[in-house]
Amino acid sequence: MICLTLTEKDIENNLLQYQKYKKLIDVVELRVDMLEGAIPVDSVIRFPELCEKPVILTCRKVKDGGKFSQGERSRFNLLRKLIKGKFSYIDIEEDMGRNELEICVKQNGIAIIRSFHDFYGVPGDLFKRMHKISQQGEIPKAAVTPKSFADMARIFEGEKELRDIDKKILLGMGDYGVPTRILYKLTGSLLSFCSAPGSSQGAPGQITPELMKNLYKADTISNETAIYGIIGNPIMHTASPAIHNPGFHKLEINAVYVPFLVDSVRSFFLFSEKIGIKGFSVTVPHKQNVLPYLGIISNEVKQIGSCNTVVKTKKLWKGINTDYYGFLHPIQEDLETGNIKKALVIGAGGAARSVVWALRNYGCSVLIVNRTLDSAVKLAVKTGSSAIEKSELAVISMEDSQNRPDLVVQTTSVGMEPNAGKDPAEEYTFSGDEIVYDLVYKPRMTRLINRASQAGCRIVYGYEMLYAQGLLQFKTFTGKEYPQG
């Protein structure tokens, strides 16, 4: 079940939120502690009758991440009044211990979710505590905070460790915990919480109802669902789930693509074997870190020493680099027809390595210019290219047309948000005959592209490479072309 946590400051706005999202969710949690001013007891009691979905009543105290700051006696008295409402569940913390309340709750036919929160880690006795709660006939709920990928992976052990408990709720908070929210069915959790965009999250790491229901289809995930994802650190900004998941849906492939915040690649590979991950994308800083775990690597990965796509073949993990092919895609014809013979590459980092190798493999002569000359020289030596000093850019742009580059590729992060407006090659004046390719895709129009476009150059935008490499990844994962339209 997908549960919307309602955290608005009054009952009217909570109802509005409910109405807005009710098609996407199965349960709502009313966070009474988030209401401002005196609690409108009668309105809260009536609330479940105004919802067609089951409602969880929660009044969280500050220590457990809520806003109820009065004493326990007040909380008890308040809950005692509110349980007159037709709530389906009440969330009471493990340390509440008020028999009187529990008896009344049970008499009113409300199921108890007995929760505990850990904002500092994943407790060693997590499963033991949940077992103990379930022995009292209550639904155990643990919201814990993984501080590493290995911590996150432990939460998935709940499926096996707690298999004999029919109903339980087990979630990881924060960015590390996001996969436990999306793949909640695989941890054995009864439900997963989400919160409306722009509202205060019920707990750190909650994602929106649209993402849960429409992008990840979290409530349809089962053991038959093929799991894919992206690993990186940081990762929550990634656009890749918004590319791959809609592709799966259009082709009716039972698969999901999840963002994984990964600090240790080793932990991720161990997890992948256990959970049966079929393939994943790799982003900063793991494009080289994954190499020791790959059983098969493609030629471009061997050359570049960096891998952005990993798939499970029969037994081995195979690594390829779709950045390499994604880069080539928009200019392939120009390379094949000899329209591009000379290239100037700005930058000498990881992205430049793919670019320079791709161009060299097509027989292009390549000049590399970089803030740090030393890195440019190293890359040039490896790839059989030449390195130039930044000051030489002005000289090159004064050369006659035969000696000027046919292609200029910008591979650095200069000009990218949040540092938009910067130009890493301002010494270079475009003639208008060059093809100018900026790998930066946010913003679409960088300062360099703007200048090149004004000079009349043909432009290749960073997003063209991004899409091309994403579509290739999709094909690598599924064996199918990305659906058009």
Per the CB < 8 A criterion, the answer to whether 193 and 181 are in contact is yes
User: Is residue 348 a contact residue for ligand ATR (CB under 6 A)?
Assistant: yes
Asked if 440 is part of the footprint of ligand ATR (rule: CB under 6 A), the reply reads no
- Is 22 one of the annotated active-site residues of the chain? no
Smallest gap from residue 447 Cβ to ligand ATR (A): 13
Q: Which stretch binds ligand ATR (CB under 6 A): 39-47, 203-211, 216-224, 365-373?
A: 365-373
Q: Which of the following is catalytic: 287, 318, 341, 442? A: 287
| Closer Cβ to ligand ATR, 140 or 350, answer by number | 350
Of residues 128 and 444, the one with the C-beta less far from ligand ATR: 444
How many positions of this chain bind ligand ATR (CB under 6 A)?
Answer: 15
CB 431 within 8 A of CB 404: yes
* Whether 325 contacts 472, CB under 8 Å: yes
Instruction: Choose the binding region for ligand ATR from 29-37, 168-176, 272-280, 368-376 (rule: CB under 6 A).
Output: 368-376
Which of 181-189, 219-227, 405-413, 457-465 is the region at the interface with ligand ATR (rule: CB under 6 A)? 405-413
Query: Distance (Å, rounded) from C-alpha 317 to C-alpha 311?
Result: 6
Applying CB under 6 A, does 349 fall inside the site for ligand ATR? yes
Any contact of residue 303 with ligand ATR (CB under 6 A)? Answer: no
Provide the minimum distance between the beta carbon of 467 and ligand ATR in the complex, in angstroms, as a whole number: 18
**In the complex, which residue's CB is closest to ligand ATR?**
349
Q: Are 448 and 423 in contact (CB under 8 A)?
A: yes
Closest CA to 179 of 268, 251, 260: 260
Best CA proximity match to 157, nearest among 132, 198, 189: 189
State yes or no: residue 414 binds ligand ATR (CB under 6 A). Answer: yes
**Is 63 among the residues that bind ligand ATR (CB under 6 A)?**
no
If the CB atoms of residues 351 and 452 are measured against ligand ATR, the closer one turns out to be 351
Q: Using the rule CB under 6 A, give the single segment among 127-135, 139-147, 292-300, 369-377 that binds ligand ATR.
A: 369-377
Binding of residue 410 to ligand ATR (CB under 6 A): no
115 belongs to the binding site for ligand ATR (CB under 6 A)? no
In the complex, minimum distance from the CB of residue 359 to ligand ATR, in angstroms, rounded to a whole number: 15
From the list 67-75, 148-156, 192-200, 364-372, the region that binds ligand ATR by CB under 6 A is: 364-372
> Which residue lies nearer to ligand ATR by CB, 225 or 412?
412
Q: Is 245 in the site for ligand ATR (CB under 6 A)?
A: no
From edge to edge, which strands make up the β-sheet containing 255-261?
255-261, 226-232, 277-282, 309-312, 317-320, 296-297
Can you tell me which of 199, 411, 446, 478 binds ligand ATR, judged by CB under 6 A?
Answer: 411
Q: In what order do the strands lie in the sheet with 386-388?
A: 386-388, 365-369, 342-346, 407-410, 435-438, 458-460
Binding span for ligand ATR by CB under 6 A among 10-18, 242-250, 274-282, 410-418: 410-418
Task: State yes or no: residue 412 binds ligand ATR (CB under 6 A).
Answer: yes
Q: Confirm or reject binding of residue 469 to ligand ATR (CB under 6 A).
A: no
288 binds ligand ATR per the rule CB under 6 A: no
- Sign of the alpha-carbon dihedral angle for 150, 162, 187, 175: negative
Does residue number 371 form part of the binding site for ligand ATR (CB under 6 A)? yes
Pick 211 or 388: Cβ nearer ligand ATR = 388
375 binds ligand ATR (CB under 6 A): yes
Q: Is 347 in the site for ligand ATR (CB under 6 A)?
A: yes
Q: What residues make contact with ligand ATR under the rule CB under 6 A?
A: 347-352, 370-372, 375, 411-414, 424
The set of catalytic residues is 287
